[in-house]
Every structure is written in structure tokens, then in C-alpha cells.
Amino acid sequence: MNLRRLLLIAGAVVLLVGVIGLLVPVSVPGPQGDIGCGNAIAADLSQARDVDSQNLANLPVLNEIIPHKDFVAECNSALSSRRSWSIPVAVVGLVVLAGSFFVGGRAGRVRA
């Protein structure tokens, strides 16, 4: 296997891992199961907003007594974390994939 083919396969695999990381749904643990946050490309915070609005800690007096988890902020943090690794992985895969077309193009030529 020559270097061009090896870089092409490695770049494709790394790009695929990055794209899959962007498309896989993100969720955070909630009071009655997981709360869906969408994926790293398109955030869907509606379920997190619904859980936050039903929380008793949103009342002004109870907010100081009952511990309050902000699920919208947790979803944003989880989405940001997913984006922070999946976008660079996809870009590196794309660069390696594109770079594979510029490597080893003159194999087999003999200089006289």
C-alpha cells in the first residue's frame, strides 16, 4: 500500500469520525431520564426549556431553598463540548484527505 492510499484512507476515516460526532444526538441526564439537546450541528433546547419551566426552583422564594439545575445551560455546555472536538477532527480529516492527492504523484518516473 503506497503513501497516497494510506493517507486517503486515514483522512476518510478521521473525517467520517468527525462528521458522525457532529450528527450523533447529545443529551444530558435529567430528573426523569435523559433530556435531548439536538446534535452539534442543530441544537434543540425545547425539551430542556420545558423541564426548566416545570421546576419549582424557578419561583422567586423557593429558588434560594431548593437546589436548581439549569438544563438549558447544561445542554449548551454539552453541545459546546461536542463541537470542540468533532469540528477539529473533521477539519483534520479533510486536510489529510485533500493532502493525499498531492503526495506521491510522481512514483514510477525515472530521471535520465
Q: How many structural domains does the chain have?
A: 1
* Stated pTM of the model: 0.77
The predicted-structure confidence for 5-40, as pLDDT tens digits, reads as follows 999 999 999 999 999 999 999 999 988 889 999 999
- Does residue 109 fall inside a structural domain? no
Residue span of the structural domain in which 97 resides? 3-102
- Does residue 75 fall inside a structural domain? yes
The partner residues of 27 in beta bridges, in order of sequence, read: 36
pLDDT above 70 for 61:
no
What 3-state DSSP class applies to 86? helix
Residue 76's nearest CA partner among 108, 111, 35 is: 35
3-class SS letters over 23-67: HCCCEEEECCEEEECECCCCECCHHHHHHHHCCHHHCCCHHHCCC
Provide the grid cell at 30. Answer: 435529567
pLDDT above 90 for 52:
no
